[in-house]
Structure 1
Amino acid sequence: METDQVIRRCVPDWEQENVLIHCHNLACGGHFGPKRTARKVLDSGFYWPSLHKDAYEFCQSCKRCQLTGGISSRDAMPQVPIIVCEIFDVWGMDFMGPFPSSYGNTYILMVVDYVSKWIEAKATSSCESKEVAKFLKDNIFSRYGVP
Structure 2
Amino acid sequence: MMPLNPILIVDVFDVWGIDFMGPFPMSFGHSYILVGVDYVSKWVEAIPCRSNDHKVVLKFLKENIFSRFGVPKAIISDGGTHFCNKPFETFLAKYGVKHKVATPYHPQTSGQVELANREIKNILMKVVNVNRKDWSIKLLDSLWAYRTAYKTILGMSPYRLVLWQSVPSPTGG
TM range (shorter): 0.3 to 0.5
Which structure has the larger Rg?
Answer: 1
- TM-score of the aligned structures, taking structure 2 as reference length: 0.37
